Amino acid sequence: MAKPRDVGAWSQDPRETLRADPEFDLDSMDRGGTPGWQDDKLAARQFGAQRGRLLSELQERLFAEGRAGAGRALLVIVQGLDTAGKGGVTRHVMSMVDPQGVALRSFGPPTEEEREHHFLWRIRKALPHPGLIGVFDRSHYEDVLIARVDGLVPRTTWEGRFDEINRFESDVVEAGTTVLKFAMMVSHDEQGMRLMKRLDRPDKYWKYSANDLPTRHQWDDYQEAYADVFRRTSTDAAPWYVVPADHKWYARVAITEILTQTLIDLDPQWPSVRWDPMVQRRELARTMSTKALADSLSETDEQVEKAIKEDRKVHKQAARASKVGDGSDPVADAEAKARAAVASATAAAAMADLQRTRQQKADLLAERDDT
Neighbours of 63 (CB within 10 A): 21
Classify residue 272: in a domain, yes or no. no
Radius of gyration from C-alpha coordinates of the chain: 25
What is the predicted pLDDT for the residue at 89?
85
Shared-domain flag, residues 64 and 142: yes
Last residue of a domain, one of 207, 239, 266: 266
Q: Does 211 or 239 have the greater pLDDT score?
A: 239
pLDDT, tens only, 120-134: 999 999 999 999 999
Classify residue 315: in a domain, yes or no. yes
Shared-domain flag, residues 191 and 308: no
Classify residue 5: in a domain, yes or no. no
Last residue of a domain, one of 231, 266, 301: 266
Q: What is the CATH number of the domain that holds 69?
A: 3.40.50.300
Number of compact structural domains in the chain? 2
Classify residue 7: in a domain, yes or no. no
pLDDT average, residue stretch 205-216: 92
| Residue 204 CB contacts under 8 Å (≥ 6 apart), including other chains | 197, 198
Helix (H) or strand (E) holding 169: helix 155-174
Classify residue 9: in a domain, yes or no. no
Please state, in angstroms and as integers, the Cα–Cα distance from residue 55 to each residue in 93, 103, 137, 216, 280, following that order.
10, 16, 20, 36, 32
Please state, in angstroms and as integers, the Cα–Cα distance from residue 166 to each residue in 122, 142, 149, 225, following that order.
16, 15, 21, 16
Shared-domain flag, residues 336 and 258: no
The residue type found at 67 is R
Would the pLDDT of 7 be above 50?
Answer: yes
Using CA atoms, how far apart are residues 96 and 45, in angstroms rounded to an integer?
13
Shared-domain flag, residues 189 and 338: no
* 82, 123 Cβ separation under 8 angstroms: no
Nearest residue to 31 via CA among 170, 217, 190: 190
Residue 104: give the domain boundaries: 14-266
* 89, 256 Cβ separation under 8 angstroms: no
Classify residue 45: in a domain, yes or no. yes
Shared-domain flag, residues 362 and 232: no
Shared-domain flag, residues 22 and 41: yes
Shared-domain flag, residues 247 and 325: no
- Find the range with the poorest average confidence among 20-34, 193-207, 261-275, 323-337: 323-337
Give the SS3 label for residue 192.
helix
Please state, in angstroms and as integers, the Cα–Cα distance from residue 209 to each residue in 89, 142, 184, following that order.
21, 18, 19
Neighbours of 325 (CB within 10 A): 15
What is the predicted pLDDT for the residue at 1?
39
Shared-domain flag, residues 65 and 199: yes
Shared-domain flag, residues 306 and 211: no
Mean per-residue pLDDT of the chain: 89
Shared-domain flag, residues 201 and 283: no
What is the predicted pLDDT for the residue at 371?
56
* 269, 61 Cβ separation under 8 angstroms: yes
Last residue of a domain, one of 243, 266, 289: 266
Would the pLDDT of 325 be above 90?
Answer: no
* 126, 85 Cβ separation under 8 angstroms: no
Shared-domain flag, residues 187 and 301: no
Classify residue 8: in a domain, yes or no. no
Shared-domain flag, residues 289 and 227: no
Classify residue 36: in a domain, yes or no. yes
Using CA atoms, how far apart are residues 152 and 287, in angstroms rounded to an integer?
66
What is the predicted pLDDT for the residue at 5?
45
pLDDT average, residue stretch 152-177: 97
- Find the range with the poorest average confidence among 11-15, 304-308, 325-329: 325-329
Would the pLDDT of 313 be above 80?
Answer: no
What is the predicted pLDDT for the residue at 328?
57
DSSP codes of every residue in 50-116: HHHHHHHHHHHHHHHHHHTT---EEEEEEEESTTSSHHHIIIIIGGGS-GGGEEEEE--SPPHHHHT
Q: What are phi and psi of 102, to 5 degrees?
A: -120, 135
What is the predicted pLDDT for the residue at 50?
92
Q: What are residue 181's DSSP bridge partners?
A: 77, 240
Q: Name the percent of the chain lying above pLDDT 90.
A: 69
pTM of structure: 0.86
